[in-house]
Amino acid sequence: MAAWSPAAAAPLLRGTRGLPLLHSARRMFASQTEGERKVTQILKEKFPRATAIKVTDISGGCGAMYEIQIESEEFKEKRTVQQHQMVNQALKEEIKGMHGLRIFTSVPKS
């Protein structure tokens, strides 16, 4: 019997598209978690000109890690790092209770 190794186990831990299972798994219901609703509400207040805000709990529902996609005119003529700093500042208090945050920002296309 071969010894276990991360490299040998990797194919078993991947979803159908070759992505880690955590990333390919989707919740089976359409409603947002309480944490997703809270983060979304804060972002709507801080970025009133946002044309799209999507918050997804990617920690399996425990609220430890979120993916945020936000499109807003407020990011216009700002570098990506500045855009992300704006989001981090908006969520300053909530971030204290998180383990991770993925941020994707963009400016609406004219």
> Quick one: which of 60, 62, 49 has its CA closest to 25?
60
More confident residue, 51 or 16: 51
Instruction: Read off the DSSP letter of residue 94.
Output: H
Looking at residue 21, what is its pLDDT?
A: 47
Q: What pTM value is reported for the model?
A: 0.71
Q: What φ, ψ does residue 14 adopt, rounded to 5°? A: -110, 150
Confidence of residue 110 (pLDDT cuts 50, 70, 90): confident
Dihedral Cα 54, 34, 88, 66, nearest 10 deg: -60
pLDDT digits (tens, 9 = 90+) for 7-49: 555 555 555 455 554 443 444 445 889 999 999 999 999 999 9
- Other CB atoms within a 10 A radius of the CB of residue 54 amount to 14
Strand partners, 55: 68
Question: What is the distance between the alpha carbons of residues 73 and 59, in angstroms, rounded to a whole number?
Answer: 29
